[in-house]
């Protein structure tokens, strides 16, 4: 076999592996689903969102009218979901690759969702309050 054939086989393999890898990642985020990610402790509502290859759960529902904190958990997050922007509370930070960031959301009002975005606008999540 000549070099061209080897090159074509190598390129085809790399693309194939890439497609399998991306496909399995997509499945992972889909199966995580809407978790029980809201809890109230000592009058403070905590909402937990995981950041890794995007945000999960993508949509959360919480109560309006109580002091609320958002916990963003990273765990080996090397992608841009660690670069988080929440415009409505003026938050912008590059999170630790592994850790927990607690963000004060104040006392959210009903019907005013809070949205988080990665700095490039590729990934997002939102929290609805009612």
Minimum Å gap between C-beta 125 and Cu ion is: 12
Task: Please tell me whether residue 120 binds Cu ion under the rule CB under 5 A.
Answer: yes
Q: What values do phi and psi take at 118, rounded to 5?
A: -75, 160
In the DSSP assignment, the letter for residue 89 is G
Question: Within a 10 A sphere around the Cβ of 116, how many other Cβ atoms?
Answer: 23
Smallest distance from the beta carbon of 79 to Cu ion, in angstroms?
Answer: 7
- Smaller CB separation from Cu ion, 62 or 84: 84
Q: What is the spatial distance between Cα 73 and Cα 7, in angstroms, rounded to a whole number?
A: 41
Q: Which is nearer to Cu ion, 13 or 122 (CB)?
A: 122
| CB-neighbour burial class of residue 129 (10 A; exposed 0-12, middle 13-18, buried 19+) | buried
Nearer to Cu ion, 7 or 25 (CB): 25
What is the pattern of x (binds Cu ion, CB under 5 A) and - over residues 45-84?
-----------------------------------x----
Specify the residue, 57 or 108, whose C-beta has the smaller distance to Cu ion: 57
- Report how far residue 68's alpha carbon sits from residue 127's, in angstroms, rounded to the nearest whole number: 11
């Amino acid at each position: 076999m000549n070099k061209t054939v080897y090159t074509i086989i190598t390129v085809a393999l790399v693309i194939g592996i890439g497609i399998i890898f991306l496909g399995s990642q997509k499945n992972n985020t889909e199966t995580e689903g809407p978790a029980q990610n809201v809890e109230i402790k000592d009058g403070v509502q905590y909402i937990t969102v995981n950041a890794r290859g995007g945000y999960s759960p993508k949509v959360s529902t919480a109560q309006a009218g109580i002091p609320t904190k958002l916990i963003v958990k990273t765990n080996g997050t090397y992608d841009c979901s660690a670069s988080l922007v929440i415009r409505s509370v003026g938050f912008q930070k590059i999170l630790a690759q592994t850790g927990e960031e607690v963000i004060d959301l104040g006392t959210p009002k009903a019907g005013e969702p809070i949205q988080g975005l990665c700095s490039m606008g590729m990934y997002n999540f939102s929290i609805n309050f009612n």
